[in-house]
Amino acid sequence: MHASALGRHISGAERIVTPDKLDSVARELLSRALAKDRSPDHIVVTIDDLSGLIHRSLTALDVTTLNSSADPAAARADAARLLQATGVGADAVEKAFSLLSRGASPSGGNMRGAMIMDARTGERLEPDQERGVRASRFDWTGEAGEKMRTLLNEQGLVHERTYEALALASKIADSPGFISELCWSDDPEYTAGYVSSRLTGYVRFPCLKKEGDARGGRAVFIDRKKFDAAQFLSFMEEEAVLIERTGQCRPDTDVDHFLQRIGSDVRTGS
């Protein structure tokens, strides 16, 4: 499902389901689009037959919430340290935060998909910088989804966005050449965001922007030496994956203890 207003992206969601659930899930996605405060003037619900196209199964990333500052600037500094710990250069980190904060598309608005950035230089590599690259065709299996909801609920993470964002981040983390991802929502009422990588897992920040801020999006950092544009786009947009195994939900912690745990000595300002 994709909903927009005046040509600008408002919301999107998708599922992989069996044929007997098509009607109920399509209605669910339509209701979700119509429930947005920013009333859409264009809604598209697309149904594709993926029979025989589930090429791989995944394990979800581990989940950790950082007890970072309620001040978005301080929380972003912590997120920057994590990104650098995964191998993203300081210039690329700074550029990603700047672009997402002001609207990453050339027109100044939010992008429907992700920026793809060289992790060393911050150069943008997506073929369409207005649209970006949108990860598609992913979902939980029934058993894994139920277990993951339980694990998240036990950590107090009851918002549906966390469950969905974890699935999305888990697919992106399996993409060729991937190093790490930075994301926060464009919903003005939802301030949380995350950094994800194979090294860190899915690291959630409760406050990466101020309430009322409608800017948001995602930046995917890649290793330019391992990046093949056609292969990357095919995986992100066409290859269907199911998440069959959950990761761990770890206790909340602070950035210094987290970096110590993963063996990084990245310091603020380095």
Q: Could you give the angle at which helices 72-85 and 255-262 cross, rounded to 10 degrees?
A: 10
Q: How far, in Å, CA of 72 to CA of 199, rounded?
A: 24
Q: Report pLDDT digits (tens) over 211-270.
A: 999 899 999 999 999 999 999 999 999 999 999 999 999 999 999 999 999 986 554 433
Q: What's the pTM?
A: 0.90
Residue 8 structure tokens: 């600008």
How many CA atoms lie within 13 Å of 138's alpha carbon, on the beta-carbon side? 26
Q: How far, in Å, CA of 89 to CA of 92, rounded?
A: 5
Q: Report pLDDT digits (tens) over 98-137.
A: 999 998 888 888 888 999 999 999 999 999 999 999 999 9
Average pLDDT of every residue of the chain: 91
CB atoms within 10 A of CB 67: 13
Q: Are strands 217-222 and 178-184 parallel, antiparallel or unpaired?
A: antiparallel
Q: How far, in Å, CA of 79 to CA of 54, rounded?
A: 33
Q: Which residues pair with 117 in a beta bridge?
A: 124, 221
Outline where DSSP puts E strands in the chain. 2-5, 8-12, 42-44, 54-59, 63-65, 115-118, 138-140, 178-184, 193-197, 201-205, 217-222, 240-245
Residue 69 structure tokens: 């500052």
Is the model's pLDDT at 36 over the cut of 80? no
Classified as helix, coil or strand, 49 is coil
Q: Report pLDDT digits (tens) over 43-65.
A: 998 888 887 776 778 999 999 99
Residue listed under structure tokens 């990104």: 83
Q: How far, in Å, CA of 55 to CA of 31, rounded?
A: 30
* CA pseudo-torsion sign 170, 171, 172, 174: positive
The arithmetic mean of pLDDT across residues 12-26, rounded, is 85
Q: How far, in Å, CA of 125 to CA of 233, rounded?
A: 11
Domain definitions of the chain by residue range: 1-47, 58-262
DSSP 138: E
- CB-CB contact of 146 with 182 (8 Å): no
